[in-house]
Amino acid sequence: MRRGLLPKHVAAVVKTQKDPLKALQMFNSVKDEEGFKHTLSTYRCMIQKLGFHCNFDEMENLISETRTNIDNTMLEGIYIEAIRSYGRKGKVQEAVNTFERMDFYNCDPSVHSYNAIMNILVEYGYFDQAHKLYMRMRDKGVDSDVYTYTIRIKSFCRTMRPYAALRLLHNMPHPNAVAYCTVVAGFYECEDYVEAREVFDEMLERRFCPDVMTSNKLVHTLCKKGLVRESEKILDKVLKRGVSPNLFTFNIFIQGHCREGALDRAVKLLATVSREGLAPDVVTYNTLICGLCRNSRVVEAEGYLHKMVNDGFEPDDFTYNSIIDGYCKAGMVEDANRIMKDAVFKGFKPDEFTCCSLISGLCLDGDPDHAMAVFKDAQEKGLRPSIFVYNTLIKGLSQLGLILPALQLMHEMAENGCQPNIWTYNLVIDGLCKMGCLSEANNLISDAIADGCLPDVFTFNTLIDGYCKQLKLDSAVELVNRMWAQGVTPDVITYNTLLNGYCKAAKSEEVMEIFEAMAEKGCAPNKITYNIILESLCKAKKVAEAVNLLGEMKSKGLSPDVVSFGTLITGFCKIGELDGAYKLFRRMEKHYNICHTTAIYNIIISAFSEQIKMKMAAKLFSAMKKNGCLPDNYTYRVMIDGFCKTGNVTHGYNFLLENIEMEFIPSLTTFGRVLNCLCMEHMVQEAVSIIHLMVQKGIVPEIVNTIFEADKKLVAAPKIVVEDLLKKGHITYHAYEVLYDGIRDKRILQKKRRLQTVNSLQGGNSNWQWKFKDNSVNIYYEEHVKETPEPSQNILMLPTISDVSTVEEWRSVAGDIVQRNGNVNWQATIVDWPGLGYSDRPKIDYNADVLEKFLVDFINSPDGPIKQAGGIFFFMIVKYVQSQLFNVTNNSCVKLANDLIIFGGGHAASIVIRAAKKGLLKPKAIAAVAPTWAGPLPIVFGRDSSMETRYGFLRGTLKAPAVGWMMYNMLVSNENAIQSQYKSHVYANPDNVTPGFVESRYALTKRKGARYLPAAFLTGLLDPVTSREEFLQLFADLSGKTPVLVVSAEGAPKRSKAEMEALKGAKGVSKFVEVPGALLPQEEYPSVVAQELYQFLQEYFDTVA
């Protein structure tokens, strides 16, 4: 070191040196410098550095040295730094000792020292000691300052005395925003929201506006209590007074929304961060990723991991562990391993949390061998398993019934120096009880006690539950007595388990005795307790007494739930008091504000049906659907049974068909009941149609599937089904004879075909079998015609491709065009795509080529609907035959295979244009309605190699057996998602999205196989092109060959609208018009779209003429 070294130079080096021990080494070395002497500032700087990094021994040595070299009366700042350092690490006693030494070393504590130690005592819950210290401060004549008041206010709030805190606030000489916000937080903690708001408003009226740091503390308190909306209102008031939020503010709200499960709001907040001029940090991303993983949206979380990396942030251990744990909990262990390998390559070191996640996931997946392999691999790599890791593996093994390996692991952990705790024993005891091995479980409790692990309430509850399930109720009661003897207090779960056991044994008197004993012992019943009591009373036919319990529940602050009312309604129904059941059913919603569920409706509909009161059952069934409760298989069965009992066969038949249409498969008993009734009423045709429907839906004996020749199968299957129904006793012999004769009667089959022909002429629906590879796919289509002696040109309408695509999109347009009078008559055919609408939804690898092939086959197949109908193509596909050009004078249709006019919407339009470009179709004209080319994810996140890989993962997840349905239900198959989707970008006017409309679309998502094609659409596999340039080129290639009309929508989403606008004036586009609407103008504004399409047809035909 050179001469002239100053204390400020040493202080600067100490502050910049990250390693505190190196800083101390330098600090000590400068003592030897000639002319240099440490000052109070250098000592304080070094002590602060050591305390911050928890080098407390070195810090104490340096304080002793400071006392030797510096006047002790000047050392208060040093002592305060030491007190705060101890406080940050929870070393309360050390902090107190430091404070008490001040007097001893002639350093009189000022109000600042008292504040420092009192704040630590309050933070760690030593409220009495803090108060005594305050009184000592007063006795010594030390005056309180604003911080003293704030600390005492905090103490009152922490001890749930906000009104005392408020009085102290009003007595403060100089109150501030920090003190006010502390009191407000205290009232919120006590759930006194009205007073909290009043105090907050008082603060603002007195012009005390909290800064962003103070506001964040208050907001954080509210968000931790789940009061996110309330905290938003409070922050809004602060922001209006000029305070700007910082990144920590947004992080708090993202965490709050994630805890509430409002993940979409959390995701939107991340986008808002950038708009506010702030940059998200690692904490922001980690908070969102953790929230997504905990709410089973781990695939989306992985997307934010990649976005985080792309934004220049380095994921940390928390990031990787959150995603690995999320995948494991979702049963996607392979994906968890993939993430871990990638993370390890980037420097991540798996820790015990990683190990536990993988072990738990593998055990949940039923793969204990791999779980053990992960455990051993971690040991080999130097990770010493903690009690946490051992317990995770023991839990997994016990839940799989592998008790012996779990016990062996318990012995191994003790040998490895990791002693089992009571939780370890509880896990194995739980596994033994679930296997019914109660004696072994009892023995294990003795072993636990011998090892010094005393059984806790969970241990006893587990064993009591095991005895109750085996109805060994005396042994269960003995265990409760043993709990009291061993000083373990039974909790509400203990009593509920015991009550449930006696209830299941139908011992209602004992149930009430235990319930009374529970109250005497001071254990407060909860909602589950009362539900068990209600069930017990109803089983004993004491329904009136059970109803009276509702009042007792209310008096104890407990609200009855759906289970409570379901139990009571069932009780009334079982004793035949349907009026009482119905009154309670209505009271449930009107007086208790509890919505009826499908299960509740099923209980009461079943009761009325059994009593053959079908008028009331039908009324309830209708109300059920109107109120948004979808009937299930059980609902339809009881309705069918009821109608058959009353002889109303037609209603029973219609309900059976509706049941099947909703993708429920009735039991053979239900089929048999309807068939018997139809045959008794001589409704042979309807009965035979049910048999054919059973064959079509695959409800056949196994032997039918051994018939490989389609023609033989078609003839033999109905007969085999009828014989099987008789053999199993589901139909009578009379019904068997009628059905067998009906199946063989060619006159019935001919009559059926004639009826289908008549229906199609008047406007009906039918099916066509599309052969694709090894699949025979049932394709649904409708035909709309106007009765006229003149020949009609056929229009084939294909719906847009989306999650809830259906022929219904085009019905109004079809009806409008068909009914118009002009030079040409029109006949419309609408068809559902395979995998969508009412067509079959097989599990095939859907892509744009598959849909293109279907389109070509549907039009060109010799036995296809277009050929039969004399059809041309409409996306509508329009069959154009200008009979006058060929001088046709009779009513026959002249079929021109390539005379097509194509109208189309969305992706469907682009697929048609691509097929036309390839020459697979040769249309005469095309109209593309709101054309698109990119699926939802590609249009939002774009396309690159990494995104394509992630789209593949998501697609695979959606198609997976269990997690796929879960994710599909979360993203698509729920009414809220559908309503949001239509209101935000599918329809332009949200008012057009009615509850009935949403319900009809929701029903489509529940069809078997509903998620397979949407998985491809969502991830861009159905995109006919990969860029706007390719999209424009499709149109350009038809220039001079095929006239093309583009119908754009005014209210289309921004990115989709940009693609439509790009076609305005583009090469190959003959005409560009704009109509109201968003992505489905043909459904939302059918008359406007129909007019534009009809005008296009007229212009085209005039040109041809």
Q: How does pLDDT run across 15-25, given as a tens digit for each residue? A: 888 888 988 88
Q: What is the DSSP string of 111-142?
A: HHHHHHHHHHHHHTT-HHHHHHHHHHHHHTTP
Closest CA to 933 of 837, 867, 848: 848
> What is the helix (H) or strand (E) element at residue 765, kind and residue range?
strand 764-772
φ, ψ dihedrals at 775, nearest 5°: -105, 140
What integer pLDDT is reported at residue 787 of this predicted model?
72
Protein fold of 761-941+1024-1105: Rossmann fold (3.40.50)
Average pLDDT over residues 1018-1032: 89
Q: How does pLDDT run across 370-428, given as a tens digit for each residue? A: 999 999 998 888 888 889 999 999 999 988 888 888 888 988 888 888 899 999 999 99
Residue 113 has pLDDT above 90, yes or no: yes
Average pLDDT over residues 771-779: 86
> What is the helix (H) or strand (E) element at residue 1094, kind and residue range?
helix 1086-1104
Interatomic CA distance for residues 670 and 656, integer angstroms = 8
Across the chain, what does the average pLDDT equal?
85
Residue 747 has pLDDT above 80, yes or no: no
Residue 529 has pLDDT above 90, yes or no: yes
Q: Cβ(353)–Cβ(321) under 8 Å?
A: yes
The residues near 4 (Cβ < 8 Å, ≥ 6 apart) are none
What integer pLDDT is reported at residue 977 of this predicted model?
78
Instruction: Copy the structure tokens of residue 708.
Output: 């490989």
Q: How does pLDDT run across 588-612, given as a tens digit for each residue? A: 988 888 899 999 999 999 999 888 8
Average pLDDT over residues 743-769: 53
Instruction: Copy the structure tokens of residue 501.
Output: 């056991």
The number of beta carbons lying within 10 Å of the beta carbon of residue 316 is: 13
616: left (phi over 0), alpha (psi -120 to 50) or beta: alpha
Average pLDDT over residues 183-197: 91
DSSP SS3 for 998: helix
* pLDDT higher at 674 or 885: 674
Which of the four pLDDT bands, split at 50, 70 and 90, describes residue 304?
very high
Average pLDDT over residues 989-1010: 79
Residue 502 has pLDDT above 50, yes or no: yes
Average pLDDT over residues 933-950: 72
The number of beta carbons lying within 10 Å of the beta carbon of residue 618 is: 19
Closest CA to 1075 of 1057, 1059, 1100, 1101: 1057
Interatomic CA distance for residues 1047 and 1024, integer angstroms = 19
Q: How does pLDDT run across 542-576, given as a tens digit for each residue? A: 999 999 998 888 888 888 999 999 999 999 999 98
Q: How does pLDDT run across 217-245, given as a tens digit for each residue? A: 999 999 988 899 999 999 999 988 888 89
DSSP SS3 for 1070: coil
**Helix axis angle, 848-860 to 906-918, nearest 10°:** 70
* pLDDT higher at 911 or 959: 911
Closest CA to 285 of 277, 293, 276: 293
Domain locations in the chain as residue ranges: 761-941+1024-1105
What integer pLDDT is reported at residue 1041 of this predicted model?
86
Interatomic CA distance for residues 538 and 575, integer angstroms = 9
What integer pLDDT is reported at residue 900 of this predicted model?
65
First to last CA, the chain: 103
Which of the four pLDDT bands, split at 50, 70 and 90, describes residue 641?
confident
Q: Count each helix (H run) and each strand (E run) in the chain, helices first.
A: 57, 10
The number of beta carbons lying within 10 Å of the beta carbon of residue 225 is: 16
| Minimum mean pLDDT range among 409-418, 733-742, 751-760, 824-833 | 751-760
* pLDDT higher at 268 or 789: 268
Write the DSSP symbol of residue 771. Answer: E
Instruction: Tell me whether strands 873-874 and 1071-1075 are parallel, antiparallel or unpaired.
Output: unpaired
Average pLDDT over residues 787-792: 74
Residue 1105 has pLDDT above 90, yes or no: no
Residue 488, amino acid: V
Percent of the chain with pLDDT over 90: 42
Interatomic CA distance for residues 424 and 430, integer angstroms = 10
Interatomic CA distance for residues 572 and 584, integer angstroms = 9
| Residue with token string 């075909």 | 753
Which of the four pLDDT bands, split at 50, 70 and 90, describes residue 898?
very low
Residue 891 has pLDDT above 70, yes or no: no
Q: How does pLDDT run across 142-167, given as a tens digit for each residue? A: 999 999 999 999 999 999 999 999 99
Residue 1064: C-alpha distances to residues 886, 988, 1070 (Å): 36, 21, 10
Average pLDDT over residues 97-119: 92
Q: Cβ(751)–Cβ(763) under 8 Å?
A: no
Residue 815 has pLDDT above 80, yes or no: yes
Average pLDDT over residues 795-809: 86
What integer pLDDT is reported at residue 8 of this predicted model?
85
